[in-house]
Amino acid sequence: MLLDDYNPLSGRMLTILDQDANLNEILMPQLDSAVVEKAFRTMVLSRVADDKAVILQRQGRMGTYPPNKGQEAASLGPAMTMGDRDWFVWGFRELAGLLWRGLPLEQYYLGWMGNEYGNHYDPDLRITPTSIPVASQYTYAVGLAYASRYQKENTVIFAFTGDGGTSEGDFHESLNAAGVFNLPIVFIVQNNQWAISLPRSEQTASDTIAQKAIAYGIRGIQVDGNDILAMYAASEEAAEVARNGGGPTLIEAYTYRLGNHTTSDDARRYRVEEEAKEWEARDPLNRMLKYVRSREILSEKKIESVWEWAKTLVEEAAHKAETTPPPSLDDVFRHTYESMTSNLKEQFDDMKKREESQ
């Protein structure tokens, strides 16, 4: 079992497709080429959509936005292993995985444009809303997992946070409780080496994030987060363990944030550009591309066309999001409670009158 062979004390990180696209055939997960193609497409779409978001922000057409560039494999791998009724509990930097899951890109854009309808997901997607307070989403992931077992749903909860998130009390309380209750959760930490300006080495003194699992008596594994195959394989195994009553796993996805923390950030203030350069050589999308080429999963022409396809989708989504009407007064008031309290109704009526008189 990978989770045994690569346990946090083994000192080993799981890689299957290395940065030069060398493949570990023994560990390679069985994926048919349609799936690989779809994964490739999703990564491309994520990359193009992400770049577009940065541009939209720069043009004043979107609010503050956290770029995903370089981290596509870390959320996509786990997403590929999710069952239909599994839960996707995200933080704020999991675009590729969300696209695989089926989140309409225009809705994603809408959220970052500052409209709550961006979180108005189709409940069948089983995606929880964006969670900005770092690591807080881990607490409700535990509740979803508890309910899953109680309701005999046999689902697994996939919960994401970042390396910075591991320092929050909520990270600890959640992993601990998941261990105690032996719940079906896969905790994925996207260790992208930075939490805004704080490097991973100053976030915690532990050698790996994966070894934090030991504190909770649960499984842990450090995975090359830029290797889609390794992320897939580790998530699949962790999910299977969870589904069979084996409890939670902590996956450290060892990756890198190639861009700024958000569009309001300037990473040059705190990190040397060479570091990012080095990591560009390990770009998960390039690696995937090499793989797709070497295995001849897609022809060069098809590969070309994927970018075109993505650009078209992205433009459409941006257009849809931008032409979505802003929230109405009613939208803004109506969802505070199931039905408006009388106090709120009074305030609403007052605003309504103001609006109408303008």
Indicate the residue among 195 and 230 with the shorter CB distance to ligand TPP. Answer: 195
Structure token digits, residue 224:
């090359």
Burial classification of residue 176, based on how many CB atoms lie within 10 Å of its CB (0-12 exposed, 13-18 middle, 19 or more buried): middle
Q: Which of a second copy, Mg ion, ligand TPP, none has residue 167 at its interface (CB below 5 to 8 Å by kind)?
A: a second copy
- Please name the residue ranges forming H helices in 244-323: 273-280, 284-294, 300-323
Positions 255 through 284 that interact with ligand TPP (CB under 6 A): 257, 261
Report in angstroms how near the CB of residue 27 gets to ligand TPP at its nearest. Answer: 27
Catalytic residues: 257, 261, 270
Q: Which residue has the tokens 């915690």?
A: 204
CB 70 within 8 A of CB 258: yes
Q: How far apart are CA 96 and CA 112, in angstroms?
A: 16
Q: Which of a second copy, other proteins, Mg ion, none has residue 192 at its interface (CB below 5 to 8 Å by kind)?
A: Mg ion
Beta strands 249-254 and 185-191: pairing type? Answer: parallel
Residue 230 host element (H or E): helix 228-243
Per CB under 5 A, 111 contacts Mg ion: no
Structure token digits, residue 174:
């959640």
- Provide the 3-class DSSP secondary structure of residue 253: strand
CB 239 within 8 A of CB 232: no
Per CB under 8 A, 338 contacts a second copy: no
Q: Which of Mg ion, other proteins, a second copy, none has residue 351 at its interface (CB below 5 to 8 Å by kind)?
A: other proteins
Indicate the residue among 70 and 179 with the shorter CB distance to a second copy. Answer: 179
What character string, x for contact with Mg ion (CB under 5 A) and - otherwise, covers 172-201? --------------------x--x------
What character string, x for contact with a second copy (CB under 8 A) and - otherwise, covers 180-199? x-x-----------------
Side chain identity at residue 129, one-letter code: P
Listed ranges 33-41, 159-167, 303-311, 315-323: which one lies at the site for ligand TPP (CB under 6 A):
159-167
Positions 124 through 163 that interact with Mg ion (CB under 5 A): 162-163
Sign of the torsion formed by the C-alpha atoms of 130, 136, 138 and 140: negative
Using CB under 8 A as the binding criterion, the count of chain residues that bind other proteins stands at: 74
Using CB under 6 A as the binding criterion, the count of chain residues that bind ligand TPP stands at: 16
Phi-psi region of 155 (alpha: psi -120 to 50; beta: other; left: phi over 0): beta
Per CB under 8 A, 217 contacts a second copy: yes
Q: What is the DSSP string of 68-89?
A: -TT-HHHHHHHHHT--TT-EEE
Residue nearest to ligand TPP (CB): 162
| Backbone φ and ψ of 333, nearest 5° | -95, -35
Report in angstroms how near the CB of residue 286 gets to other proteins at its nearest. Answer: 29
Per CB under 5 A, 252 contacts Mg ion: no
Positions 10 through 29 that interact with other proteins (CB under 8 A): none
User: Which positions lie near ligand TPP, rule CB under 6 A?
Assistant: 93, 132-134, 161-165, 190, 192, 194-196, 257, 261
